[in-house]
Amino acid sequence: MCGELDDDGPSSLQEAHYNRFMLQARALLSQREKAQGAPDDPVIATIDKLFADALSRAMRDCEAADPSRRYDVLSIMPLVFARLAGILAGNLALTEDPLRRVMEALMHGYAEADSITPDHGHDHDGSFGHFGHSH
């Protein structure tokens, strides 16, 4: 019927969003691979690797899903990672203002989704822990 959603598969808009995510994720991972070595700070190197591992896992899980459900898998992932961020932040000292740091990182990532392109003419330093980069 006119105006009803088709439950048989993803809409073209959902497919476009899913494909955009995959392009951006590949671009981020490619930037990391192109970076010259690991950051000097072992903590930054650890979180860079954790970010890349989590992003790679998210991509693999999406790709492993039935093609008609890939967008559904992608759409629920932010809730999983938000819950994990809450658990981790909930175990930090309040003097470190963990909620503010989580919210700032969340908003940075949300804005970053609009700025990541497969190849936009310059290299990044590969540090996912650096939240000051802008275009």
**Domain, as residue range, for 88:** 12-115
Cβ contact 21:77 at 8 Å: no
Of 133, 128, 109, 134, nearest in space to 29 by CA: 128
Q: What is the structure's pLDDT at 87?
A: 94
Domain annotation covers residue 128: no
d(CA 111, CA 117): 13
The verdict on residue 56 lying in a domain is yes
Residue 76 lies in a domain: yes
Q: Domain for residue 19, yes or no?
A: yes
Contacts of residue 99, defined as CB under 8 A and 6 or more positions apart, other chains included, come to 89
Return d(Cα 48, Cα 116) in angstroms, integer: 17
User: What pLDDT is recorded for position 1?
Assistant: 45
Distance CA 130, CA 90 (A): 22
**What stretches in the chain show pLDDT beneath 50?**
1-5, 120-135
Q: Look up the pTM and report it.
A: 0.74
Structurally, how many domains does the chain consist of?
1
